[in-house]
Amino acid sequence: MSLFRRLKGLLGGTAAPSAAAPPSPQDRPTPGAAAEEKLLAPLLAALAHGGGAVAGLQAASTLLEVHREALRDLAATDPARAVTVLRRYLAEAPAHAPLLWILAQVYQESREIAAAMEIYQRLSQSESERAAACACVAALYEHHLGDSEQAVRCYQQAWLADMSREDCFAAALRLQEDRDENRAPPLLVLRLEQAPEGIALLHPIGRGGSGTVFLGQDQSLGRQVAVKFLHPHLRRDARAMETFLAEARLAASFNHPRILPIYDIDPAKGALVMAYLAHGSLADRLRAQVPIAPEAAWRCCAQVAEALSELHLRGVIHRDVKPANILFSAPGEAVLSDFGIAHFDEAAQVVGTRLYAPPELALHGRVDDDARRDNYALGLLLAEMLSGEAPPLHLELRAQWLAAAGTKVPEALAGLIAGLLQRLCAPDVSQRLRHTPALAQVLRQPLQAELTSALSGLS
C-alpha cells in the first residue's frame, strides 16, 4: 500500500492494511512516490508509534533534516500531491512550524509565490521563526516580485530579529546600493528603532559568543562609536540580562586609559555603546602568524597588566583575556575591552575562553575565580606574541609550546622571559603570580635582563 494511503488511514481513522499484505500493481513506487516516501517516512513512523495525529506531528520534527532534497523531487514531479498531503496534516496541527516551512518551500518550488509569501509571513509572527521567515519573504520580493524596496525592508527585519544574520545585512546593503543612482558611499546607515537613541548604525564589525558589534555614529556628538547588541536568545533570558546589566554598569564605572570606555547602556535593546578604536586588535596582528618583536610584546603585556591591575584592585576578574579583547587606541597603545561581559553566558564562556583558560578547567572542570586566572591568560598572550602561534589545547603540547616561546628572544633575555612565563603559567595554581599591581610595576620598566631579580621577588 502507498505511503500516502497509509498516512491517510492513520490520520483519518481508517485502519491501514497489514504491512505483510502484498503490494498491488497500482501500489508499486513511481518516481513521485519515491520522493514522497523519503519526505514523509519519519512522519509515518511518528504517527504509527501512537499518540494521535497532533502528538505524532509534534514528534515529527526530524522532517527538517530530510525534507530539502525530497522536496525538490516531489515538487518537480507532483507538487499538487505534496500540497494536498501537507495541508491534510496541518489541519490536525495548524501551527506546526516544520510542516509550514515544508509547505511554503513546496509552493516556492512550484512558483506559487503568493501562497509561499502568505505562509512565510505567518511564520514571521513567531519570535523563534521571525528571522528566517523575514529573510525568505525578502528573497521572494527580490527574486520573484522584483520589489527591491520591500526586499530591503524585509532583510532589515530579518537582521533586526537576529543580528547574527550578516547575510541579511549584506543583502540589504547590496540592494540599497543598486537602487542608488548616485552611488552613495557603501555604508547602509540604519536609522531604526532598535538602535540606541541618537545612534545611527553603519555596519557590523565583529561578532562573539555573546553578541554582535556594529560601528555607529553618535548623532549629537558627531563621533563614531561601537555598539554591542546581545544575541536574541540572551536578550530573552531574564537571568542573563540581569547579569549583563550589572556587569555593564560596573564596566562603565571605570575611568582608566587602558580600559575601553562605555558611554551608554540600553537595557530595553540589550545594547552597549562603547568607544570605537580604529586601530584593530591584537587578534588582527596575530592572524598573520608572525612573531611580534620582544620589546613590543613586553610593552603590550605591560599595558594589559595595568588594566588588569585596576580591575583586580577593585575585586573584579576579567575572565576573558584573549587577543580579540586587546584593542589599540593608536599603534602600540593597548586597551582592554569586554571585561565582565563576555563571560555571563556560561556556554559562551567555555567556548570563548577555553583556549586561554588555565589547565584546571580541563582537569577538574572548574577555574579558581581570582587574579591568577587573568594572569595565566596574560602569560599565554606573551608566549603567543613571541612565537606567532596560538596556544595548543592539549596540556602537554602547551607546556612544550610555553618552553619554546621562552627561546624566541635574544639569549640575554631568555632567562627573564622563561622565568616570567613559568610564574604566570605554572601548572600548579598555587605557584602562579597573584599580585597584579606588582607585576604591572615590573613590566612597565624597559625590557632588560636585570629585571630577573625583580621578578623573582613577586608573589
Catalytic residues: 320
What sign for the dihedral angle of Cα 241, 245, 251, 252?
positive
CA distance 101 to 89: 13
As given in the structure block, the three cell numbers for residue 1 are 500500500
Nearest CA-CA partner of 43 in 57, 64, 29: 57
In angstroms, the Cα distances linking 405 to 332, 335, 416 are 21, 24, 12
Nearest CA-CA partner of 454 in 415, 425, 426: 415
Residue type, 425: C
Q: Name the β-bridge partners of 272.
A: 228, 265
CA distance 315 to 303: 19
CA distance 114 to 259: 53
User: Any alpha helices (H) in 162-293, and if so which ranges?
Assistant: 166-179, 232-235, 238-252, 282-286
Nearest CA-CA partner of 98 in 82, 107, 86: 86
CA distance 119 to 209: 32
| 218 sits in which H/E element | strand 211-218
CB-based contact 306:440 (threshold 8 Å): yes
Longest dimension (CA), the chain: 93
φ, ψ of residue 353 to 5 degrees: the values are -115, -5
| 159 sits in which H/E element | helix 148-161
CA distance 436 to 442: 10
In angstroms, the Cα distances linking 47 to 5, 23, 41, 60 are 13, 21, 10, 8
User: Any alpha helices (H) in 238-370, and if so which ranges?
Assistant: 238-252, 282-286, 294-313, 346-353, 359-364
Nearest CA-CA partner of 343 in 377, 297, 313, 314: 377
The SS3 of residue 59 is coil
